[in-house]
Amino acid sequence: MRSFKTLLQVLGLFSASGAFAAELDLIEPKKIEYSKIEYTSMSPSWSLVGSLSPTYTENALFSRDNRRRDFFYEPDVSLRLDGNLSPDLTYRIFARAQFESFATEHLGNAAIARLGARLTQNLYGWRITGQYENRYDFDGIYRDLAFSSNDVTGSVGRDFQFGNVTLSPLALLTYRFSDLAEARRWRFDALLGIEVKLDPKWSLVSTPFIEAFWFTDGLNAGRQDQIYSVSLGLKYNIASNISLTTNVIYEARTSNVPLRHYTDVQIGPRLDFAF
């Protein structure tokens, strides 16, 4: 959720603005395919999927000129209903909640609640997905509603296996309809998930990605942001449905609004689970 902040940042009322948009049930692009469950039965199946991640950041408020170091805690939990409409066509209905809580920079606290659904067609090994998400962004930990949105997303991705190396390219295009004019925008994501298995338990992982935003309305009309990020981590598979990954992430944003530029380094473990 670090790519996305809340109402004050969308309006640009202080210098630490983030693009506070990053997520689909597809999106947290950095971990979207974690513990992917294959459904071969036509009967639907429930699952609880999530992560816990205490993280150090060098730029808690995404500021160009007012960099503040801090630690934040981010739980992210989804309840999913998955099923098959045909052997190659799957659906998912989900509810998702996540928040960020900072140790000292409480202005950075934010939360999201989402309800959504998606269809995924498997075509010659490619996953072609359409998704709708009703999203509520809050200032603070579910304190004040900042704005609500309806996100419509299309994506295409697949996995390539080369020995002990798995490459997972993914591209997504999203438009956000929102009751806040400044939050309306197009968004394009391109990422490459990389996993190199060292043995059955340990893997090296990395996810370079690019995000581009084109804001369409309100005070942000004409604004264009680009976020570039790369990560390197060591993942340990505790069980088939639980893993622990320690990551180092570098992120930079450029914009046609110079005040929106920033860089950030984040370090921390993340526990992923799926039940």
Which pair of tokens denotes residue 49? 């999927």
Measured CA to CA, the distance from residue 88 to residue 27 in angstroms comes to: 22
Express as a percent the part of the chain with pLDDT over 70: 85
Residue 39: band (very low, low, confident or very high) from pLDDT cuts 50, 70, 90? very low
CB neighbours of 41 closer than 8 A, spacing ≥ 6? Answer: 84
Domain annotation covers residue 69: yes
Measured CA to CA, the distance from residue 61 to residue 2 in angstroms comes to: 10
Which pair of tokens denotes residue 70? 């801090």
| Structural element, H or E, at residue 148 | strand 144-157
104: left (phi over 0), alpha (psi -120 to 50) or beta: alpha
Mean pLDDT value across residues 84-104: 97
Is it the case that residue 36 has pLDDT exceeding 90?
no
Residue 41: band (very low, low, confident or very high) from pLDDT cuts 50, 70, 90? low
Domain annotation covers residue 93: yes
Domain that holds residue 106: 7-274
Measured CA to CA, the distance from residue 215 to residue 176 in angstroms comes to: 9
User: Tell me, what's the pLDDT at 172?
Assistant: 98
Mean pLDDT value across residues 118-123: 98
User: Tell me, what's the pLDDT at 26?
Assistant: 52
User: Tell me, what's the pLDDT at 43?
Assistant: 86
User: Tell me, what's the pLDDT at 47?
Assistant: 97
Mean pLDDT value across residues 122-147: 97
Alpha helices, H only, the chain:
7-11
Domain annotation covers residue 1: no
Domain annotation covers residue 167: yes
User: Tell me, what's the pLDDT at 17?
Assistant: 31
CA distance between the termini of the chain = 22
CB neighbours of 48 closer than 8 A, spacing ≥ 6? Answer: 77, 78, 79, 80, 273, 274, 275
User: Tell me, what's the pLDDT at 135?
Assistant: 98
Exposure b/e, 3-27, CB count within 10 A at least 16 = b: bbbbbebbbeeebbbbbbbbbbbbb
Residue 126, amino acid: W
Which pair of tokens denotes residue 166? 């798995």
User: Tell me, what's the pLDDT at 254?
Assistant: 96
- Residue recorded with tokens 């690019």: 210
Q: What is the pLDDT of residues 253-265, one digit of tens each?
A: 999 999 999 999 9
Q: How far is CA 250 from CA 27, 32, 57, 138, 159, in A?
A: 18, 19, 10, 26, 24
Is it the case that residue 11 has pLDDT exceeding 50?
no
User: Tell me, what's the pLDDT at 1?
Assistant: 61
Tally of domains within the chain: 1
Give residue 85's Cα distance to chain centre.
Answer: 27
Is it the case that residue 7 has pLDDT exceeding 50?
no
CATH number for 183: 2.40.160.40
Which pair of tokens denotes residue 38? 């294959």
Q: What is the pLDDT of residues 137-171, one digit of tens each?
A: 999 999 999 999 999 999 999 999 999 999 999 99
Domain annotation covers residue 2: no
Measured CA to CA, the distance from residue 251 to residue 140 in angstroms comes to: 23
Domain annotation covers residue 18: yes
Is it the case that residue 35 has pLDDT exceeding 60?
no
Task: Please state, rounded to an integer, the average pLDDT across all residues of the chain.
Answer: 88
Partners of 168 in beta bridges = 193
Domain annotation covers residue 249: yes
Q: How far is CA 113 from CA 37, 158, 193, in A?
A: 23, 28, 26
